[in-house]
Structure 1
């Protein structure tokens, strides 16, 4: 591991996010093992939430599939999820979660996509995470669209 990766690992243990990630993976009946660069890989997650091909909590990368198959299908996915582990460290751990939800809401408002204008997904690389970019729509039109959908 590089010094930076070791710092990230220590930060995510200290801020509690890796411990939470291991708890989520355990509750999800995952097979958990050490991965590269201070990460933990958790396969076969059994719950339908969050809706994602993979997600990260601290230094724990979780998928409902198995990691070798996921990486074969999406070669950049491990690096994409690793970038999210850095985001946990930078955000001080668990504050990442509400910040991510807010960014996802902004992205849905602006594009109709959970990822296209989500600052965290853009930083991690949209294509590497299996996402496609979408152009932003004017805020007024987005609000009208959302309100129309509620009726």
Structure 2
């Protein structure tokens, strides 16, 4: 029997349209959809390769390329982790969850080089239950500096080994640029 909190989450995710979106994503990806515990839907054998995850949740729909029963046997905390994401969809009122989650992934990558380790959504859902590991933070300054160097090289067309040398200059560095 679903708890009162499960029923409220389920209602909110229908009203904010995230569950219909999740069912649409599952159908478009050819997944087999069935009812799961806590009023969620389980959609397995999803055929698309994006996003890269053992499972992901849209509204109240837990989607996986794998057989979810087999995956849950290997990772017993996985469904609890995904149901936490379902609650996050409800708390974010549906679609605003997507840009917030992406921003959180970006922050995590910037701080650790890993998309999940410092994501507030993944941490609150339980890193270990989701199959993630905690990664120590790194200084942001060098990461931003390297990003700026890469951006400047892309904009000016100066990449790789030829950066700084002009064609026909005998390998001499460019002047003034």
TM-score band w.r.t. shorter chain: over 0.9
Shift of residue 145, structure 1, vs aligned partner:
4.1
2:58 aligned residue? 57
Tell me, in whole angstroms, the C-alpha distance in 1 between the residues paired with 2:130 and 2:18.
Answer: 21
Distance 1:71 1:5, change over 3 A: same
1:67 aligned residue? 68
Please state if 1:125 is matched with 2:126.
yes
Tell me, in whole angstroms, the C-alpha distance in 2 between the residues paired with 1:149 and 1:111.
Answer: 19
Distance 1:48 1:87, change over 3 A: same
Distance 1:145 1:73, change over 3 A: farther
2:42 aligned residue? 41
Tell me, in whole angstroms, the C-alpha distance in 2 between the residues paired with 1:144 and 1:114.
Answer: 19
Residue 9 of structure 2 aligns to a residue in which SS? helix
For structure 2, the 5+ residue unaligned runs are 154-177
CA RMSD of aligned residues (A): 1.2
2:32 aligned residue? 31
Q: How many residues align?
A: 151
Residue 134 of structure 1 aligns to a residue in which SS? coil
For structure 1, the 5+ residue unaligned runs are none
Tell me, in whole angstroms, the C-alpha distance in 2 between the residues paired with 1:81 and 1:142.
Answer: 31
Q: Point out the structure with the larger helix share.
A: 1
Residue 57 of structure 2 aligns to a residue in which SS? strand
TM-score computed with the length of structure 2 as normaliser: 0.82
1:34-68 CA distance string (max 9 Å, x none): 00001000000100111111000000000000111
Distance 1:133 1:149, change over 3 A: farther
Map 1:90-105 onto structure 2 (within 5 A): 90-105=91-106
Shift of residue 144, structure 1, vs aligned partner:
2.9
Shift of residue 142, structure 1, vs aligned partner:
2.2
Q: Which has the larger radius of gyration?
A: 2
